[in-house]
Every structure is written in structure tokens, then in C-alpha cells.
Structure 1
Amino acid sequence: MIEIRKLQKEDMTMLWEYAFQKERPWMSFDAPFLDEHLPLSYEDFEASRLELYLDVDFRQGIFKDGRLIGLVSYYWESYKTRWLEFGIVIYDENEWGHGLGSSCAMFWMDQLFTAFPDIPRLGFSTWSGNKAMMGVGENIGMTLEGRIRSVRYYQGKYYDALKYGMLREEWDVKRRMF
């Protein structure tokens, strides 16, 4: 069973192991061109990152059968203009390729459209090197709203920056189908 919920203190060790302890395969796809993912000791994680994850609305855990396997998040591109974006990361590579990202995106979008009744659109940003996230957008019927070519440089190669989005009225039709 899949559950999305706020992270609690007892989830922090597993989060640290997946996200901060050492290099993991997911790090090659989560905007690796922006920041280098550097390992942190658990003590440094607790001191510097805990408040960004513990019991917050904007970043929540994806749990499968009670086990943390990823995160969903949201952030305001512009609060003033009600421009909300979201993200998904599936840490456990054994869970990749089974449609979990698409299912979580649909659930998270439903939660966000409900929690923020004034937003007209939800979207996410990715890059052409992240085929899985591109697939999420396509699988759930989002529109590829923008492609900025050759602006993401990673490991000696240029990739495109991509923006996917869905309007509330499109979501209202889509959600009746799931």
C-alpha cells in the first residue's frame, strides 16, 4: 500500500540513509547539474537539515507498506501570482519503472489542488536527461509547456530544461477518471 504523509522523527534515519549518507543512483537524475549531492554524517543532517523535513507540509514522504521510498514536495515559484510547482523523487531504485511516480504525482496533485483552491495550475520542472520524470508528465496527461534547449550541462553534455503543467479545469476532468 502507498501512503503519502508528513515525515516524523522515526523516519529520519531512513531519509538520511537514502538522501544524505552516500551517493545513490537517484542523484544522477534529480537536477545533478545544479548542486553536487554531498554526503552528510547523521549528526550534520540533524543539525542542518532536520527542520526542512520533519513534520512539514511542503515536503512529505512516500511510503510503501510502511517503508519510506521517496518524497513529494511543493514550492512557490511565485506566491503573489499563485504559481505552485511540485516535485517527486523515488529514492529506492527497486521501485523505478512500475508507475509509482505517476501514481504519486496524481495523488499529490489532487492534494495540492484541494489544499490551495485559488491556484489555477500545477506544474514541475525537469530536464531531458530524466526520462522517468518526463514519462510522469506524459503518463498523467500534463502539457509540455516549455522546452529551453541545451541549458542543462551535465557530464560533458547539454540537455534541455523542460516545464510540464496542468490547469485546474484539466485536472477536474482527469481526477474523475482515477
Structure 2
Amino acid sequence: MGVLSYTEIKRYLDEKKLIIVPLDQQSIGTASIDLTLGEEFRYFVPRNGSVPISNEAGAKDYQKFSEICKVENGKPYRLDPGKMCLGITNERVRLPPDLCALVEGRSRFARLGLSVHITASFIHPGIDSKTVLEIFNASNLTLDLYPGTKVCQMIFMKMEGNAEYCGTFQNQAL
């Protein structure tokens, strides 16, 4: 398994094996593509009691404990210190069966305490959806998250063999 370079990313895009909509050609880097932050955020509502984390927990249980906020007209989503929210990319990504990917933050924002995923950075082969980001503010600063910001990057890896994801999050939304 190897990481795709700029040349290989372009080849996959040109051959329509890898599809990203919308795609800004300026977002293609030496070994990744920058993705932008969408307008929807899901924040967790404080509550009394605990939330069960077990094998019986459903994949969409997080929706029971959270609400959606949509920001528009160039306004930011404000993320307080030590808080997390879910965001979603503007771009829809379709991976072919021979590619998987990782979503990683960008160092310019990490230096301010912003994490774009807590632990779930792996993107399965065959996925066809926008990417949900598990955004955490690890700093003691309040961070304003602006839709349209190139907040993360997707790194593509060639697989040995082919596989296709057909799970719960194939057409994910917040």
C-alpha cells in the first residue's frame, strides 16, 4: 500500500476513478487534496446522566444527544475551548475499490489547537459521500470555524486488492 502523489491523484481524477464534487484544482497538493468545511455543524447538548458506550450502541445514537446548527452568509460557527462538534465537508468524495483514504488536519490550524478528527480518520474504499469531521478545540482559545475554509486534507492510498464499503455511513449526513 502506498500514498498517491500529485501525478497519481490527477490520473485517478482524469480517468474518473476518483470523483470529488466540487473540486478546486488548486486544492490538489503533492500527496493530498484539501477539503473545505461546510455550513452545517452538529453540537452536543449538555445533559444529566451518562451516554452508554457499548457494542449495542447504534451507529447513529449520537443524533439523540445533539442538534444541528447551520451557519450562513459568511458567519462562523464558534467552538469554545475543550468542546467538540461534528462538521461536514462541502465535497462529496467517491473512492474506487482500489483506494482508501485518511482525513488529516492541516498544521496551520493544528497549531491553534484545532483537531478535525478525534479518532476516525479512515475512509473506506468505495465510499461515496461527504466526510463528517469530528472537530475538537484542544486550545484555551475560542475558535471561529468559517464554512469554505480548507480545514482538512484527504490522503489517498492504493490498496492491495479491491473492496467496497456498504455500511451505515455510505450516504452520510450530519
TM-score, L = length of structure 1? 0.29
Structure number with higher strand proportion? 2
Q: Which has the higher contact order (CA 8 A, sep 6+)?
A: 2
